[in-house]
């Protein structure tokens, strides 16, 4: 067999790469250089080993016969007899009791898993919004209608619960004559300000993108689009339920306050949710 020079060389490259890595660890900190040196160290050796195997090993082709996988019939039958011997299978009553005991033991062993989380209770139907709750931004400043620019959007929370995930709400200001809200909600839009839950009714992402020219809220996760003027009804994408609207008014001091909690569950739907 002829010696092949590049096979030898690749082991040398590998060694240089490894040594380089050791030195570089002590003096540098670029991930790029580390990656290249590690690539040389591993790759050099890989090429060398494969070159050794393919160029310098003359191995014969061998043939291996399949031995039969299955056992002969008597072995299977004997095993079955062994498993199903009378002392086990004839005791019908004991078998039933043992099966029952195993099932109850399983339940007893599984029950601690319930400690993993609380029961949902009403928590999916309720948020931290209460009647009279001040509408504040994430830093806690209360908001007047004038604090929201026309065609602007602001993420707000109930006062005292800044950053609370299930209560996140967006306030959008629209020219009042463009609004075409469902019946009974005409009073919820003081000076053209409307507030909707920020949690998408599809998969729960924050609905953060407002296309002011189209008056549409867009969810960046799955592109569900909601028409703000009609009460955030879905117009495109996978969301099927309108974003719940927060009943809202202006109090005597001129600040936006909630009239009540949302009247439907916020966020993604579930099978046994309360529906009107």
Partner 1 sequence: MLRWIDERLGVAHWARKGLRKVFPDHWSFLLGEIALFCFIILVLTGTYLTLFYRPDAAPVIYDGPYEPLRGREMSAAFESVLRLSFEVRAGLVMRQIHHWAALVFVAAIVAHMVRVFFTGAFRKPREINWMVGVTLLVLAIGMGFTGYSLPDDLLSGTGLRIAYSAVISIPFVGPYLAFLVFGGEFPTEGIISRLFVLHVMLLPAVIIGLIGAHLGILWRQKHTQFAGKGRTERNVVGKSFWPQQFFKSFGLMLLTGAALALLGGLVQINAVWSYGPFDASAVSAPSQPDWYVGWLEGAIRLFPAFEPTIFGVTIPSMFIPAVVIPGIGFTVLALWPFIEQRVTKDRVMHNILDNPRDRPARSAIGVGGILYVTLLTIAGGNDVLALTFNVPIEAMVWFLRIGLFVIPVIGGFITYKVCKELQSSRARPSRRNKGTRLRRNTEGGFEEVPSDSQS
Rounded distance between C-alpha atoms, residue 251 and residue 125, angstroms: 26
Shorter beta-carbon distance to partner 1: residue 12 or 95: 12
Rounded distance between C-alpha atoms, residue 128 and residue 29, angstroms: 48
Rounded distance between C-alpha atoms, residue 154 and residue 157, angstroms: 10
Which of 193, 181, 174, 179 shows the shortest CA–CA distance to 256?
A: 193
Pick the piece of the chain touching partner 1 (CB under 8 A) from 61-69, 78-86, 88-96, 254-262.
61-69
162-181 residues in contact with partner 1 (CB under 8 A) are 163, 165-166, 168
Q: In the complex, what is the shortest distance from the CB of residue 68 to partner 1, in angstroms, rounded to a whole number?
A: 9
φ, ψ for residue 208 (rounded to 5)? -105, -10
Q: Taken in order 40, 43, 49, 55, is the CA torsion positive or negative? A: negative
196-255 residues in contact with partner 1 (CB under 8 A) are 198, 202-206, 208-209, 220-224, 234, 236-241
73-112 residues in contact with partner 1 (CB under 8 A) are none
Q: Give the residue, chosen from 18, 141, 155, 216, that forms a contact with partner 1 under the rule CB under 8 A.
A: 155
29-58 residues in contact with partner 1 (CB under 8 A) are 29, 31-36, 38-43, 45-50, 52-54, 57
Which tokens in the block code for residue 1? 């067999």
Q: In the complex, what is the shortest distance from the CB of residue 92 to partner 1, in angstroms, rounded to a whole number?
A: 32
Q: In the complex, what is the shortest distance from the CB of residue 101 to partner 1, in angstroms, rounded to a whole number?
A: 26
* Residue 134 and residue 255 in contact, taking contact as beta carbons nearer than 8 Å: yes
Shorter beta-carbon distance to partner 1: residue 61 or 74: 61
Rounded distance between C-alpha atoms, residue 183 and residue 170, angstroms: 21
Shorter beta-carbon distance to partner 1: residue 84 or 163: 163
Shorter beta-carbon distance to partner 1: residue 131 or 163: 163
Q: Judged by CB under 8 A, does residue 122 bind partner 1? A: no
CA atoms within 13 A on the CB side of 268: 8
């Amino acid at each position: 067999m002829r010696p092949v020079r590049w096979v030898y060389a690749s082991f040398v490259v590998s060694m240089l790469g490894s040594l380089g890595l050791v030195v570089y660890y002590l003096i540098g900190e670029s991930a790029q250089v580390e990656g290249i040196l590690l690539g040389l160290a591993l790759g050099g050796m890989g090429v060398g080993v494969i070159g050794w195997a393919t160029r310098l090993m003359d191995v014969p082709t061998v043939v291996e016969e399949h031995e039969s996988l299955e056992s002969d019939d008597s072995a299977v039958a004997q095993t079955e007899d062994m498993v199903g011997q009378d002392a086990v299978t004839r005791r019908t009553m004991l078998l039933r009791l043992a099966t029952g005991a195993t099932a109850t033991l399983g339940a007893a062993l599984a029950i601690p898993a319930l400690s993993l989380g609380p029961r949902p209770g009403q928590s999916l139907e309720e948020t931290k919004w209460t009647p009279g709750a001040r509408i504040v931004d994430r830093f806690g400043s209360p908001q007047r209608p004038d604090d929201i620019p026309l065609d602007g959007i602001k993420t707000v929370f109930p006062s005292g619960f800044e950053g609370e995930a299930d209560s996140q709400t967006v306030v959008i200001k629209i020219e009042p004559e463009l609004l075409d809200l469902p019946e009974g909600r005409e009073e919820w839009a003081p000076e053209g300000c409307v507030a909707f839950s920020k949690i998408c009714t599809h998969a729960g992402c924050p609905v953060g993108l407002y296309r002011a020219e189209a008056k549409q809220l867009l969810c960046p996760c799955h592109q569900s689009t909601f028409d703000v003027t009609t009460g955030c009804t879905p117009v495109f994408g996978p969301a099927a339920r309108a974003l719940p609207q927060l009943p809202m008014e202006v109090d005597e001091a001129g600040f936006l306050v909630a009239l009540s909690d949302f009247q439907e569950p916020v966020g993604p739907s579930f099978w046994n949710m309360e529906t009107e």
